[in-house]
Structure 1
Amino acid sequence: MSNVVNLEVEITDLLRRHGSLSVAFLTRFLNERGIFCTRQKVERTLRKLVEQKKVEAFYTNGNKRKHYRLR
């Protein structure tokens, strides 16, 4: 369970630092920080953060990729 909490903290830190990001960029930045995780794990964690209303999901410019930002 502590790994999930750590991943949540890292994701919120990245969103605070970079603004809005897609899952692909979040996964890339996490892997560059040394936190090796898959895209599916990042998506699962983001869904939990959206349910907790800490993060919001939105679409930009008509492309079909979700972006996430802090509330």
Structure 2
Amino acid sequence: MSNVVDLEREIGNILRSRGPLSVAFLTRFLNERGIFCTRQKVERTLRKLVEQRKVEAFYTNGNRRNHYRLR
């Protein structure tokens, strides 16, 4: 369970420092920090954070890919 909390905190730290990002970039930056996770795990965590209203999902450039930013 602490692993999930760490992932949520790390996603928050990355979004705070780099601004809005897509799932692909979040996964890449997490892997660079030494937190090895898959895109699916990041998406699942982001859906949880959106439900908790900590993160906001939006589209840019009409490419229909979700980008995420802190609320």
Report what 2:25 is aligned to: 25
Structural RMSD (CA): 0.4
* Superposition TM-score, scaled by structure 2 size: 0.99
Question: TM-score if structure 1 supplies the norm length?
Answer: 0.99
Identity of aligned residues (%): 85
Structure 1, unaligned runs of 5 or more: none
Q: Between Structure 1 and Structure 2, how many residues are aligned?
A: 71
Letter of the 1:21 partner, please give it: L
Runs of 4+ in 1 over 4 A off after TM superposition: none
> C-alpha distance in 2, partners of 1:21/1:54?
15
Deviations 1:8-59 (A, max 9, x none): 0000000000000000000000000000000000000000000000000000
Name the CA distance, whole Å, in 1 between partners of 2:61 and 2:26.
Answer: 19
1:8 aligns with 2:8: yes
Matched residue, 1:69: 69
Shift of 1:61: 1.3
Stretches of structure 2 that go unaligned for 5 or more consecutive residues are none
One-letter amino acid of the structure 2 residue matched with residue 25 of structure 1 = F
How far apart in 2 are the matches of 1:21 and 1:43?
12
